[in-house]
Amino acid sequence: MKAVVNLIVIVLGGVSLAALAEETPKLSCIKDITYSQEFLARYPKAGAACREVVMKDGKKWARFDADVVDVRGNQVTANFNDRYKQSVATLTFSAAPEARLTIGGKEAAFSELRSGDTISVWISESRMGFYAKPGALEISKFAVVSNTSKMR
């Protein structure tokens, strides 16, 4: 009988935690992140391309999706689109071949990128740069080789 009571307490506790998780407010690209002046000077239409905002280690991170249009060695050129699939910037990144990022929703090596892939990159509200995931270390930053933004 004691085992049954313990199981009920555990199940009810799990339900309470699940309810709390659902009540966590979802952050908005429009009102919950502030881009630095430096970032906006380089990427003035960033807000239109933001897909989501998450908290990681007490810092806000914004996710951007881009379509890969060219891969040459360790350099990848990708079009960043707004929510209406209109191009807002074309950037060329470089990274170490073993660098990891999200390709089509799955983690993979930078060296595996091909034209037509959709990648996700993240920026932190508190520092400049593009990263593979929220909370990434400075050493895993993707270097921007060129910015041919159409909206400058």
Note the pLDDT of residue 119. 93
How far apart are alpha carbons 88 and 28 in whole angstroms? 19
What ranges do the domains of the chain cover?
37-147
Two tokens, residue 149: 């933004």
Q: What are phi and psi of 16, to 5 degrees?
A: -65, -45
- The answer for residues whose C-beta is within 8 angstroms of residue 51's C-beta and 6 or more apart is 29, 62, 63, 64, 65, 83, 120
Q: What single-letter amino acid sits at 75?
A: Q
How far apart are alpha carbons 62 and 64 in whole angstroms? 7
Q: What single-letter amino acid sits at 96?
A: A
Two tokens, residue 35: 């881009």
What is the band of 83 on the pLDDT scale with cuts at 50, 70, 90? confident
Q: What is the DSSP letter of 16?
A: H
> Average pLDDT in the 57-82 region?
93
Q: Tens digits of per-residue pLDDT, 19-57?
A: 444 455 789 998 999 988 888 888 888 889 999 999 999
3-class state of residue 81 by DSSP: strand
The answer to whether residue 134 scores a pLDDT higher than 50 is: yes
Q: What is the pTM of this model?
A: 0.78
The answer to whether residue 93 scores a pLDDT higher than 50 is: yes
